[in-house]
Protein backbone atom coordinates (compact mmCIF):
# COMPACT_ATOMS: atom_id res chain seq x y z
CA UNK A 1 0.00 0.00 0.00
CA UNK A 2 1.27 3.45 -0.89
CA UNK A 3 1.31 6.11 1.86
CA UNK A 4 1.52 9.87 1.34
CA UNK A 5 3.72 11.73 3.85
CA UNK A 6 3.34 15.51 3.85
CA UNK A 7 4.98 18.42 5.67
CA UNK A 8 8.38 16.72 5.63
CA UNK A 9 11.37 18.77 6.73
CA UNK A 10 13.47 19.60 3.66
CA UNK A 11 16.61 18.08 5.22
CA UNK A 12 15.10 14.63 5.85
CA UNK A 13 16.65 11.79 3.83
CA UNK A 14 14.90 8.80 2.31
CA UNK A 15 16.77 6.56 4.76
CA UNK A 16 15.46 8.60 7.73
CA UNK A 17 11.94 8.41 6.31
CA UNK A 18 12.27 4.63 5.95
CA UNK A 19 13.52 4.26 9.54
CA UNK A 20 10.61 6.35 10.88
CA UNK A 21 8.09 3.92 9.34
CA UNK A 22 9.91 0.60 10.00
CA UNK A 23 8.54 0.18 13.56
CA UNK A 24 5.11 -0.39 11.95
CA UNK A 25 6.25 -3.12 9.54
CA UNK A 26 8.26 -3.82 6.42
CA UNK A 27 8.97 -0.79 4.22
CA UNK A 28 9.27 -1.69 0.54
CA UNK A 29 10.37 1.81 -0.49
CA UNK A 30 10.63 5.37 0.77
CA UNK A 31 10.78 8.21 -1.77
CA UNK A 32 11.09 11.95 -1.15
CA UNK A 33 9.82 14.04 -4.05
CA UNK A 34 12.26 16.65 -5.34
CA UNK A 35 11.94 19.61 -7.67
CA UNK A 36 13.06 18.52 -11.13
CA UNK A 37 14.94 21.76 -11.77
CA UNK A 38 16.58 22.61 -8.43
CA UNK A 39 16.78 19.09 -6.99
CA UNK A 40 15.52 20.37 -3.61
CA UNK A 41 13.02 18.37 -1.59
CA UNK A 42 9.44 19.56 -2.09
CA UNK A 43 8.32 18.70 1.45
CA UNK A 44 6.46 15.47 0.76
CA UNK A 45 7.11 11.88 -0.13
CA UNK A 46 5.72 8.37 -0.31
CA UNK A 47 6.30 5.20 1.69
CA UNK A 48 5.33 1.81 0.26
CA UNK A 49 4.41 -1.02 2.63
CA UNK A 50 3.49 -4.53 1.40
CA UNK A 51 0.47 -5.16 3.63
CA UNK A 52 -2.57 -2.97 4.17
CA UNK A 53 -2.62 -3.78 7.90
CA UNK A 54 0.95 -2.53 8.41
CA UNK A 55 0.26 0.53 6.28
CA UNK A 56 -2.89 1.39 8.26
CA UNK A 57 -0.94 0.99 11.48
CA UNK A 58 1.77 3.33 10.15
CA UNK A 59 -0.81 5.92 9.03
CA UNK A 60 -2.45 5.88 12.47
CA UNK A 61 0.88 5.92 14.27
CA UNK A 62 2.64 8.59 12.22
CA UNK A 63 -0.13 11.08 11.33
CA UNK A 64 0.30 14.14 13.55
CA UNK A 65 3.68 12.97 14.86
CA UNK A 66 6.73 15.21 14.77
CA UNK A 67 9.81 14.52 12.66
CA UNK A 68 12.72 16.95 12.96
CA UNK A 69 10.45 19.71 14.24
CA UNK A 70 7.64 19.30 11.66
CA UNK A 71 4.23 17.72 12.33
CA UNK A 72 3.59 15.12 9.62
CA UNK A 73 0.46 14.64 7.55
CA UNK A 74 0.15 10.94 6.74
CA UNK A 75 -2.62 9.24 4.79
CA UNK A 76 -3.29 6.71 2.06
CA UNK A 77 -1.89 7.95 -1.24
CA UNK A 78 -4.47 8.66 -3.92
CA UNK A 79 -3.82 7.78 -7.55
CA UNK A 80 -2.19 10.57 -9.51
CA UNK A 81 -4.68 12.50 -11.61
CA UNK A 82 -4.12 13.89 -15.09
CA UNK A 83 -2.92 17.50 -15.05
CA UNK A 84 -2.67 19.70 -12.00
CA UNK A 85 -5.36 20.01 -9.33
CA UNK A 86 -8.07 22.45 -10.38
CA UNK A 87 -6.86 22.49 -13.96
CA UNK A 88 -9.40 21.70 -16.65
CA UNK A 89 -8.49 19.36 -19.45
CA UNK A 90 -9.33 20.95 -22.78
CA UNK A 91 -9.30 19.45 -26.21
CA UNK A 92 -6.72 20.50 -28.76
CA UNK A 93 -7.35 21.89 -32.17
CA UNK A 94 -7.56 25.25 -33.79
CA UNK A 95 -9.31 28.17 -32.24
CA UNK A 96 -11.43 30.45 -34.33
CA UNK A 97 -11.69 34.02 -33.14
Q: What would the pLDDT profile of 25-84 be if each residue is shown by its tens digit?
A: 999 999 999 999 999 999 999 999 999 999 999 999 999 999 999 999 999 999 877 655
Rounded to whole angstroms, what are the CA distances from 72 to 26, 44, 66, 94?
20, 9, 6, 46
**Which backbone phi and psi does 93 adopt, to 5 degrees?**
110, 175
**Structural domain spans, the chain:** 2-76
Query: Residue 92 pLDDT > 60, yes or no?
Result: no
- Reported pTM: 0.81
The DSSP code sequence of 19-54 is HHHGGGS--SEEEEEE-TTT--EEEEEEEE-SSHHH
CATH superfamily, domain at 2-76: RRM (RNA recognition motif) domain (3.30.70.330)
Amino acid sequence: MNIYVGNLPREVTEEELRKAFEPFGQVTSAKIITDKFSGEARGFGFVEMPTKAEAQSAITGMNGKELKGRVLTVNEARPRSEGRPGEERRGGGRRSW
